[in-house]
Chain A
Amino acid sequence: MINTTKKNGIRVQPIKNGTVIDHIQAGQALNVLKILDIPGTSQGTVSILINAPGKGVRKDVVKIEGRELESKEVDKISLIAPNATINIIRDFDVVQKQRVKIPKFIEEFVRCINPNCISNSREPIISKFYVTNNMPGNIYLRCKYCEKTIDENIADYLH
């Protein structure tokens, strides 16, 4: 959750119902919005903090009024913000708080970096990737088919 302190000057209104995504790696908030298709499908208020002071490192925070995330959305977020926490808010209370869990294997929502990969052809298959997190925050994806890896700008390959 976001602390409202006069010392560092951050002021974000608490939300009544919705989701707070905290501890997003600094610089990734806009990619989180892209993953969640905001503002495309968002009805409620969305607050964004970019480069907020955290414990030792800067972080981004996204607060979404009136929406609880689906597990597939959380899986996507974990790939670009592996340390994020998802807080579900109901009637101003945090009813659920959990760190994103990085899946070992993902299907469908990542496009392979290799234009000549069979998964980028007209074959009736969906993309599949093994996820490796060998150092905290250092995620890379290996295509099950062509074995090419995506190790940076993962957000560019999400769909």
Chain B
Amino acid sequence: MNFTNMDIISMKDFSRDMIDHILNVAEELEPVARGEKRSNIFSNVLLSLLFFEPSTRTRMSFESAIIRGGGNVLNLGSLEASSISKGETLADTIRVVEGYADAIVLRHPKEGAARMAAEYSSVPIINAGDGAGQHPTQTLLDLYTIKRESVLDGVKIAIAGDLKYGRTAHSLCYALSLYGAEINLVSPDSLQMPEEIVNDLRGQNINVYQTSVMEEVIEDIDVLYATRIQKERFPDVTEYEKVAASLKITPGLLDKAKIDLKVMHPLPRVNEIDASIDNTNHACYFKQSFYGVPVRMALLSLVMGRLK
């Protein structure tokens, strides 16, 4: 399997074999990501981070990955002070920056920006989120977390929250379909998973169950993946508070769950998960956030040809 110079744009570009390979490499690199083992895997590497909208965690996670491996980063800096504020196109920015770096991590508010950037760049482009579109490194770190903390093959998962607009949930569902997952979708009626995605999943013989009641699924699942519900999706605050309360993960809810149930969340959370769960064995969201480092390290080392 050769990833050298491959662009990382969308989960739709990955086969199960490719994902398995990335997750295996991530596991090998985990001690480096933790700072327990020194590595020069990225010696003489310059990674450019082009973040056209803020995403502190994703950016820091990429920085950690490259610096832990002995490489360096070039940051775009403030947009106001750059050529972009003078009206430069993304196509031009990419053609300039490709001359400065060995790979480019791009976050951009327009959907499809990363795919376009890849057409203009001779160095690999890694999509760190394009508008409401794709964010493949988030999905890969979610899969890695499930693999490390639970079981990925045939996992029984509940994904809760805003499933209509949440790209994290959409992308994760597609990826889990490669692993024969049993998927429970928990959301208020107004924020249900788009029908086309549910039909696609069922077309791949994936068991999909939709409900608005968390208690219906909590006893049977291995992983509970909570996502943020945004206030502005609701006509009034009372409706929002009602829905948010019905999906809130509390100690009382988890009393009914399997003892080894893992709770995940892409973070930042607002009040989807009661803080008293943080110190239980169920809490997995801070580990999940860390796992972004070995996964991004694995991707970068593969696309830059440092590992095979």
Contacts and interface: CB of A to CB of B under 8 A. Distances in A.
A145 to B, nearest CB: 3
B112 A118 contact: yes
A147 B10 contact: yes
Contact of B111 (A116, A122, A124, A125): A116
Nearest to A148: B111
Interface string B181-203: 00000000000000010000000
Contacts of B130: 118, 146
A102 B10 CA distance: 26
Interface string A123-139: 11100000000000000
A144 interface: yes
Interface in B5-29: 10, 12
A13 interface: no
A5 interface: no
Contact of A118 (B111, B132, B196): B111
A125 B111 CA distance: 14
Contacts of A123: 89-91, 116
Interface in B113-165: 113, 115-116, 119, 130-134
A115 B109 CA distance: 12
A143 to B, nearest CB: 7
Contacts of A45: none
A147 B132 CA distance: 11
A98 to B, nearest CB: 33
Interface residues of A, number: 17
A93 B284 CA distance: 74
A118 B89 contact: no
B110 interface: yes
Given A117-B111, A118-B110, A125 B134 contact: no
A121 interface: yes
Contact of B116 (A116, A145, A149): A145
Contacts of B113: 118, 145
A125 B132 contact: no
Interface residues of B, number: 20
B216 to A, nearest CB: 31
A125 B196 CA distance: 28
B85 to A, nearest CB: 15
B115 A145 contact: yes
A123 B160 CA distance: 37
A114 interface: yes
A125 B133 contact: no
A87 interface: no
A117 B110 CA distance: 6
A146 B89 contact: no
Contacts of B131: 116, 146
A119 interface: yes
Residue in B108, B113, B116, B134 with the greatest tally of chain A CB atoms within 10 Å: B116
Contact of A119 (B12, B109, B112, B196): B112
Nearest to B109: A116
Contacts of B91: 123-125
Nearest to A145: B112
Contacts of A124: 89, 91
A125 B116 contact: yes
Residue in B12, B90, B115, B131 with the greatest tally of chain A CB atoms within 10 Å: B115
Nearest to A142: B12
Given A123-B90, A124-B91, 6 more contacts: A118-B111, A118-B112, A123-B116, A125-B119, A147-B133, A148-B111
Across the A-B interface, give the 10 residue pairs with the lowest CB-CB distance, nearest first.
Answer: A145-B112, A146-B111, A146-B112, A118-B112, A118-B110, A145-B115, A118-B113, A118-B116, A117-B112, A123-B89
Interface of A: 114, 116-119, 121-125, 143-149
9 contacts: A116-B110, A118-B108, A124-B89, A125-B119, A144-B112, A144-B115, A145-B112, A146-B115, A147-B112
